[in-house]
């Protein structure tokens, strides 16, 4: 490696690290409560749902058609917008609204919220809970909800929507660049020393720097995976937008000009669930949108299915069922870029291996926080030293354009 190349790697590592460190600290700190958000919510807030009825083991679930009929009877004149079985409880959430136009108006006026939901016991179709009416006084937000909500928005987009998400994606790219360049420099400077050596017989600062680099290298693989998948996750909005204006538009084009079919003449919702389950074998049906839904068809049920294992639970396959006849129109696996996005999510969040994996992710997160903070401290102490001065302190002859044998380190590692 020539001196010029060495300088370039050093500058890349220095500036990519400095630019992204503050934002990475925000991501790492907010990521900790997000890892355990379900456990935190259940411990400090919980829910006020009534207890489930005691039924015989093996009691079959009620038909979705029964629950939809009950919901429509409770709110005559309104439409059902979606049916969503709960993944963890024997419950079904049915969403309703005055009309599809009312939902469009809600998007224009943020203060409006005309939609509402009804929660049913999936086994006997009894109503468990309803959303409060629009004119009901809002319950004060709990501190737990405020903390978790703030952490989530900071982690994803810094409260700046899509621009913030794209900015955090760029920070993820810089983080990966800093890891790669740091690895190159670490391998070069430690060439004459055993891997992972910590020089305890030198100055305390040099010992701490060796520990800083050792811990960083020890978490390198995890940090690369989490950093890269974090970048991919920040692209979800534009990638889903691309899918909607390409594949989805092409699929729905033959039906785009048809009027939305009246919900009085729809085929069986239960049959649509059964048809989707057969169309995507090995998947679970996680939700259904009624004809007329945004980004849907005016004459089709759109059903979402996902993998049945924790690692495949984020791999979705949409299925279209004709709401006039109940016949399958097609199952449409997502394009490669969305499948890549969905695969990256469990790797980023560490939520596919239960609590043990969450604890491991949290410990590695804390280690990265230590590395980031210590890197800032070490840089602050040496910020006035020029690049060449730091390299000369390591014993490099910067006047020689060719590669020199790696020296025995006598000064501090370059950061």
255 and 342 belong to one structural domain: yes
pLDDT band at 192 (very low <50, low <70, confident <90, very high): low
Residues 132 and 167 in one domain: no
Percent of the chain with pLDDT over 90: 56
Angular region, 372: left φ>0, alpha ψ -120 to 50, beta rest: alpha
Last residue of a domain, one of 122, 141, 160: 141
Integer Cα distance of 27 and 169 in angstroms: 11
Residue 409 in domain: no
Q: Does residue 32 belong to any structural domain of this protein?
A: yes
User: What is the strand order of the sheet 91-97 is part of?
Assistant: 127-130, 116-121, 91-97, 79-85, 283-289, 300-307, 316-322, 328-331
The phi and psi torsions of 317 (rounded to 5 degrees) equal: -130, 115
Q: Give per-residue pLDDT as tens, 22-57.
A: 999 999 999 999 999 989 988 888 777 778 888 877
SS3 97: strand
**Distance between CA atoms of 381 and 377, rounded to whole angstroms?**
6
Least confident of 107-121, 175-189, 365-379, 383-397: 383-397
Range ranked top by mean pLDDT from 153-157, 191-195, 215-219 = 153-157
pLDDT value of residue 400: 46
Tell me which of 100, 118, 141 is where a domain ends. Answer: 141
| Domain match, 245 and 299 both | yes
pLDDT tens-digit map of 276-308: 999 999 899 999 999 999 889 999 999 999 988
- Predicted confidence at residue 385, as pLDDT, reads 53
Residue 387: per-residue pLDDT: 57
Query: For the residues 92-113, what does the mean pLDDT come to?
Result: 86
Q: Domain check: are 20 and 157 in the same one?
A: yes
**Whether residue 379 is found in the same domain as residue 360:** yes
Do residues 291 and 298 touch, judged by C-beta distance below 8 A?
Answer: yes
pLDDT of residue 208: 67
Q: What is the pLDDT of residues 261-272, one digit of tens each?
A: 999 999 999 999
Q: Is the pTM of this model over 0.75?
A: yes
Both 180 and 315 in a single domain?
Answer: no
Whether residue 415 has pLDDT greater than 90: no
Residues 226 and 359 in one domain: yes
Q: Name the residue with tokens 């179709």.
A: 125
CA–CA distance, 235 with 342 (Å, rounded to integer): 11
187 vs 236, which has greater pLDDT?
Answer: 236
Lookup result for tokens 């394009």: 335
* 226 shares its domain with 240: no
pLDDT at 80 over 90: yes
- Indicate the DSSP class of residue 255: G
Q: In the structure encoding, which two tokens stand for residue 220, read together?
A: 């390198």
Task: Specify the 3-state DSSP secondary structure of 123.
Answer: coil
User: In this structure, are 113 and 204 located in the same domain?
Assistant: no
The residue segments making up the domain with residue 382 are 3-37+151-233+353-393
Within 10 A of 344 (CB to CB), how many other CB atoms are there? Answer: 21
Residues 197 and 71 in one domain: no
Check: CB of residue 141 under 8 Å from CB of residue 44.
no
Q: Does residue 158 fall inside a structural domain?
A: yes
Structural domain includes residue 227:
yes
Same domain for 18 and 31, yes or no, is yes
Encoded tokens for 174: 């810089």
Tokens of 339: 């499948």
Q: Could you tell me if residue 285 is inside a domain?
A: yes
User: Higher model confidence: residue 71 or residue 218?
Assistant: 71
Residue 383, in any domain of the structure: yes
Predicted confidence at residue 325, as pLDDT, reads 96
Q: Is the pLDDT of residue 359 over 60?
A: yes
Q: Is residue 414 domain-resident? A: no
Q: Tell me, what's the pLDDT at 281? A: 92
Place of tokens 């993944």: 87
Q: How far apart are CA 29 and CA 40, in angstroms?
A: 15
- Nearest CA among 331, 321, 306, 332 for reference residue 268: 321
pLDDT digits (tens, 9 = 90+) for 1-16: 677 888 888 889 889 9
In this structure, the answer to whether residues 164 and 290 fall within a common structural domain is no
Q: Which of the listed residues 88, 121, 141 is the one where a domain comes to its end? A: 141
Is residue 275 in some structural domain? Answer: yes
Of all residues in the chain, the percent with pLDDT exceeding 70 is 85
Task: Classify burial at 114, counting beta carbons within 10 Å of its beta carbon; exposed 0-12, middle 13-18, buried 19 or more.
Answer: middle
Residues 201/407, Cβ–Cβ less than 8 Å: no
Domain tally for the chain?
3
> Alpha-carbon distance 414 to 411, whole Å?
9
| Residue 177 in this model has a pLDDT that exceeds 90 | yes
In a 3-state reduction of DSSP, which class is residue 213? helix
The 10s digit of each residue's pLDDT in 126-147 is 999 999 876 677 777 888 989 9
């Amino acid at each position: 490696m020539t001196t010029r190349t060495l300088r370039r790697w050093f500058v890349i590592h220095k500036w990519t690290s400095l630019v992204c460190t503050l934002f990475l600290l925000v991501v790492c700190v907010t990521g900790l409560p997000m890892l355990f958000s379900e456990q935190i919510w259940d411990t400090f807030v919980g829910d006020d749902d009534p207890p489930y009825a005691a039924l015989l083991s093996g009691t079959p679930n009620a038909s979705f058609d029964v629950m939809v009929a009950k919901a429509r009877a409770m709110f005559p004149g309104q439409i059902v917008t979606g049916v969503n079985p709960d993944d963890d409880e024997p419950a079904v959430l049915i969403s309703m609204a005055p009309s599809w136009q009312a939902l469009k108006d809600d998007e224009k006026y943020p203060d409006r919220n005309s939609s509402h939901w009804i929660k049913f016991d999936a086994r006997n179709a009894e109503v468990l809970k309803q959303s409060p009416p629009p004119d009901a006084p809002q319950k004060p937000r709990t501190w737990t909800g405020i903390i978790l909500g703030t952490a989530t928005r900071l982690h994803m987009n810094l409260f700046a929507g899509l621009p913030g998400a794209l900015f955090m994606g760029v920070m993820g790219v810089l983080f990966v660049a800093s890891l790669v360049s740091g690895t190159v420099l670490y391998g070069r400077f430690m060439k004459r020393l055993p891997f992972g050596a910590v020089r305890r017989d030198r100055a305390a600062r040099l010992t701490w720097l060796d520990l800083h680099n050792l811990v960083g290298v020890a978490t390198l693989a995890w940090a690369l995976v989490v950093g890269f998948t974090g970048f991919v996750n920040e692209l979800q909005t534009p990638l889903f937008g691309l899918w909607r204006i390409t594949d989805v538009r092409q699929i729905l084009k033959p039906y785009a000009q048809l009027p939305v079919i009246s919900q009085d003449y729809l085929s069986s919702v239960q049959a649509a669930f059964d048809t989707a389950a057969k169309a995507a074998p090995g998947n679970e049906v996680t939700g259904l949108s009624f004809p007329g839904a945004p980004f849907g068809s005016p004459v089709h049920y759109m059903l979402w299915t996902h993998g049945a294992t924790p690692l495949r639970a984020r791999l979705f396959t949409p299925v279209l069922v004709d709401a006039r006849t109940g016949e399958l129109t097609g199952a449409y696996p997502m394009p490669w870029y969305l499948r890549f996005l969905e695969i990256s999510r469990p790797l980023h969040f560490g939520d596919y291996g239960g609590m043990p994996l969450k604890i491991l992710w949290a410990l590695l997160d804390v280690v990265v926080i230590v590395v980031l903070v210590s890197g800032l401290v070490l840089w602050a102490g040496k910020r006035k030293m020029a690049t060449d001065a730091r390299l000369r302190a390591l014993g490099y002859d910067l006047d020689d354009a060719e590669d020199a044998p790696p020296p025995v380190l006598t000064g501090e590692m370059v950061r």
